[in-house]
Amino acid sequence: MPAQVFSLDRPLPEGVRDLLFADAAAWRELESTLRQTWTAWGYREIILPAFEYADTLATDVGAEIDAEMYRFFDRQGRTLALRPDMTIPTARVVGTRLYDQPLPLRIAYVGSVFRYEPPRAGRQHEFGQAGVELIGAAGREADAESVALAVAGLRAAGLPTFRITVGHVGFFRGLLNALALPEKLAGQVRRAVDRKAEAELAALLVEAGSVAPAARAALLGLPRLTGGVETFAAARPLCLNARMTNALNDMETVAELLDAYGVADVVTYDLAEVRDLDYYTGITFEGFAPGLGFNLVSGGRYDDLIGHFGPPQPAVGWALTLDRILLARELQGVIQAEPAADVLLGAATCPACLRWAAAARARGLQVEVDPLGLAPDELWRSACARGIPRVVIHDRDQGLVVRNAAGQRTVVADDWEEVLRWRNR
């Protein structure tokens, strides 16, 4: 082996990476699987710009993502930003361009998004997102469709084990109304619920002083309102106002529909889920897989967003992180093979061989033609080194000869039945 030469003077900036062949193939296959899935559900893809005005992208995103945006200036000194997600640009498109189109709109997208966040669990500063938005439908049917499509996407992605947890911001918002805590304490309660810090809730209630017993019981019971559909029965007696009851009714109907969609086995419910409380307006959901502490997919209903850009529209949708799906799949033992051609073909100067190659490619075979004029043994070594299972050469006397690990024999040039079995897919 010659000495390895590494170049140290061309580093990549922090947060970006190259994906080489097997990873790139897995990535593109995942994209194409997801595209097939959402297309089958009637969603149509749009392609969005990678950057736009920063104040557009900063609409309603919350302080965290706002702080994580890549901002820069155009030549007039206006602030631009790389998109930190695709929902905001989609909402802009709907609000400014599609506002009079027949509803509902079903929109899908896939592409890179950019955030200055600590690189963690398969997510760099640039990472791949794919998502769907169902716009102009306010009901529980739309909520259920969105969750069911997320499950369909993860199943199609070939992820053996995962769970989707569905929550509803209305339940906790209603509870906060009933508790009527001072703002600071309400914030602490919310953070404690977000961390599932059960014991802290009791301490915070002591601090709050006089709280109605029913509201106290509801708050202390909240962390246990997680699990299967039996959760709803446990939550029912804790409802203190119409808001909580409505949220619970929403969840129950969504659960029934998810059963009908055939996805109930991977869905659980969590009425104590309070992430992104300010952004979402109805159901919320997150998907998890074993061994990965970060969500693979997250989504929910956000009826207030599109109104920032045009006539208000109810909307529900989700986005998943491609990098994390691939990582989760790998953690569960799904190995992506290194891509290799089906055939390495010798004799680039032989017209009959090139005609055979064209015919084979037209039938879906991956054919590499040797451009170096290698001798038969060298050709076979070259094929082995690159994982190509067979070589075909043209012999003046015998015609086409195929060689693989088992040995060497002639093939009839137009015996496509045999050749089609070589397709490695």
Partner 1 sequence: MAEPLTIALPKGRLTDGALALLARAGYPVPSNGDNGRKLVLEGADRRLRFIMAKPSDVPIFVEYGAADLGIAGLDVVREAERDVYEPLRLPFGYCRLVVAGKADRPDRPLRLERSPRVATKFPRLTEAFFRRRGLAPELIVMSGSVELAPLVALADLIVDLVQTGTTLRENGLTELRVVLESQAVLIANRASYRLRAGEVRALIDALAANGMCKA
Q: Are 41 and 149 in contact (CB under 8 A)?
A: yes
* 57 vs 150 by CB, closer to partner 1: 150
Q: Please tell me the number of Cα atoms within 13 Å of 133 on its side-chain side.
A: 26
Q: Are 319 and 112 in contact (CB under 8 A)?
A: no
Instruction: Work out the burial of residue 63: count CB atoms within 10 Å of its CB; fewer than 13 is exposed, 13-18 middle, 19 or more buried.
Output: exposed
Q: Is 163 in the site for partner 1 (CB under 8 A)?
A: yes
Q: Is 292 in the site for partner 1 (CB under 8 A)?
A: yes
* 157 vs 367 by CB, closer to partner 1: 157
Q: Is 165 in the site for partner 1 (CB under 8 A)?
A: yes
Strands (E), 67-170: 71-73, 79-82, 105-114, 126-135, 163-168
43, 114, 280, 288: residue in contact with partner 1 (rule CB under 8 A)? 288
Q: Is 197 in the site for partner 1 (CB under 8 A)?
A: yes
59, 245, 268, 424: residue in contact with partner 1 (rule CB under 8 A)? 268
Q: Is 172 in the site for partner 1 (CB under 8 A)?
A: no
* 188 vs 313 by CB, closer to partner 1: 188
Q: Is 341 in the site for partner 1 (CB under 8 A)?
A: no
The secondary structure of 240-305 as a DSSP string is -SHHHHHHHHHHHHHHHHHHHHT-GGGEEEETT--TTTTT--SEEEEEE-TT--S-SEEEEE-TTS
Q: Are 87 and 319 in contact (CB under 8 A)?
A: yes
Nearest one of 263, 300, 299, 297 to 281, comparing CA atoms? 300
Q: Is 117 in the site for partner 1 (CB under 8 A)?
A: no
Q: Are 294 and 121 in contact (CB under 8 A)?
A: yes
Q: Which residues make Cβ contacts (< 8 Å) with residue 73, sequence separation at least 6? A: 79, 80
2, 209, 293, 407: residue in contact with partner 1 (rule CB under 8 A)? 293
Q: Is 231 in the site for partner 1 (CB under 8 A)?
A: no
* 182 vs 228 by CB, closer to partner 1: 228
> In this structure, is the dihedral angle defined by the CA atoms of residues 260, 265, 266 and 269, taken in order, positive or negative?
positive
The secondary structure of 47-68 as a DSSP string is ---SEEEHHHHTTT--HHHHHT
Q: Is 223 in the site for partner 1 (CB under 8 A)?
A: yes
Q: Are 398 and 388 in contact (CB under 8 A)?
A: no
Q: Is 188 in the site for partner 1 (CB under 8 A)?
A: no
Segment lying near partner 1 (by CB under 8 A), choices 288-296, 335-343, 346-354, 374-382:
288-296
290, 311, 364, 373: residue in contact with partner 1 (rule CB under 8 A)? 290
Q: Are 332 and 157 in contact (CB under 8 A)?
A: no
- Taking the complex as a whole, the smallest distance from the CB of residue 167 to partner 1 amounts, in Å, to 11
Q: Is 171 in the site for partner 1 (CB under 8 A)?
A: no
* 200 vs 304 by CB, closer to partner 1: 200
* 64 vs 415 by CB, closer to partner 1: 64
* 185 vs 197 by CB, closer to partner 1: 197
Tokens of 36: 């097939």
* 290 vs 307 by CB, closer to partner 1: 290
- Taking the complex as a whole, the smallest distance from the CB of residue 291 to partner 1 amounts, in Å, to 5
Helix (H, G, I), strand (E, B) or coil at 79: strand
Q: Is 226 in the site for partner 1 (CB under 8 A)?
A: yes
Neighbours of 360 (CB within 10 A): 22
Please give the size of the binding site for partner 1, defined by CB under 8 A: 24
Q: Is 103 in the site for partner 1 (CB under 8 A)?
A: no
Residue-wise burial string across 24-53, b where 16 or more C-beta atoms lie within 10 A, e elsewhere = eebbeebbebbbebbeebebeebebeebbe
* 114 vs 288 by CB, closer to partner 1: 288
Q: Is 122 in the site for partner 1 (CB under 8 A)?
A: no
Q: Is 28 in the site for partner 1 (CB under 8 A)?
A: no
User: Which residues are at the interface with partner 1 (CB under 8 A)?
Assistant: 120-121, 161, 163, 165, 195-200, 223, 226-227, 268, 270, 288-295
